[in-house]
Amino acid sequence: MSRSAKNHASGRFRIIGGQWRSRRLAFPAAGGVRPTPDRVRETLFNWLGPGLHGGRGLDLFAGSGALGLEGLSRGLASVTFVEQDARLARGLRENLQLLGGTGQVVQADVRAFLAGRREGADQPPFDVVFLDPPYDADLHRPVLEALTAGQWLAPDARLYVEYRASGDAPELPEGWEWRRQSRAGDVGFGVSAEC
């Protein structure tokens, strides 16, 4: 969810690669929504590479949906978007339908959504998770722990984590390590996987 001032004001972003490349999408104006910048998304999806193809994605704190929609454009089979704000969730549903993408939008608090996972749940685990909570909400650690404890992740799953560049990278759960990290402007970001 991070973004340039021009795009932030307009409530628009563009998909930068894949089948919907250069497609511009609108999202409802909502305080604090910051679609991940093009440069960061390009780096992220270069890191993830062709391993995305046919996988399942989970976009937590989805906001504009820029990360999950980019993932669908680049080969994810489906994405589940979790967004608490009703206007943003409605905008995500509209964009998903407009593009003909496969996935679902869940209007819920991320922590409540993750707490709802039951052992033996019939929903398959996710291959890639996009985690970009509000920077000042101190949610990285509890959400990462809930993901790893709740059987949300497929074997060899990868986690994309975005955070404020001026601070430290979030601490990962035991057994996980950073595979790649970088910074772009005020955005720190990285991809992690199990050791």
Question: Among 79, 171, 179, which residue's Cα sits nearest to residue 128?
Answer: 79
pLDDT confidence band for 32 (50 / 70 / 90): confident
| Per-residue DSSP letter, 85 | -
pLDDT confidence band for 150 (50 / 70 / 90): confident
Distance of CA 173 to the CA centre of its chain: 18
Q: Cα–Cα distance between 98 and 95 in angstroms, integer?
A: 5
Beta bridge partners of 193: 158, 177
pTM of this structure: 0.91
Structure confidence by residue, pLDDT tens digits, 87-143: 999 999 999 999 999 999 999 999 999 998 655 456 789 999 999 998 888 899 999
Q: Is the pLDDT of residue 7 over 70?
A: no
Number of structural domains (the chain) is 1
Least confident of 7-21, 38-52, 123-137: 7-21
Residue 133: which CATH number? Answer: 3.40.50.150
Instruction: Work out the mean pLDDT of the chain and round it to a whole number.
Output: 90
Q: Is the pLDDT of residue 84 over 50?
A: yes
Q: Cα–Cα distance between 21 and 27 in angstroms, integer?
A: 17
Q: Cα–Cα distance between 165 and 182 in angstroms, integer?
A: 9
By residue range, what is the domain housing residue 24? 5-194
Residue 113: the pLDDT is 94
Structure confidence by residue, pLDDT tens digits, 151-165: 899 999 999 999 999
* Helix, strand or coil, per DSSP, at residue 36: coil
Q: Cα–Cα distance between 61 and 137 in angstroms, integer?
A: 12
Q: Cα–Cα distance between 70 and 99 in angstroms, integer?
A: 11
Residue 117: the pLDDT is 67
Beta bridge partners of 177: 193
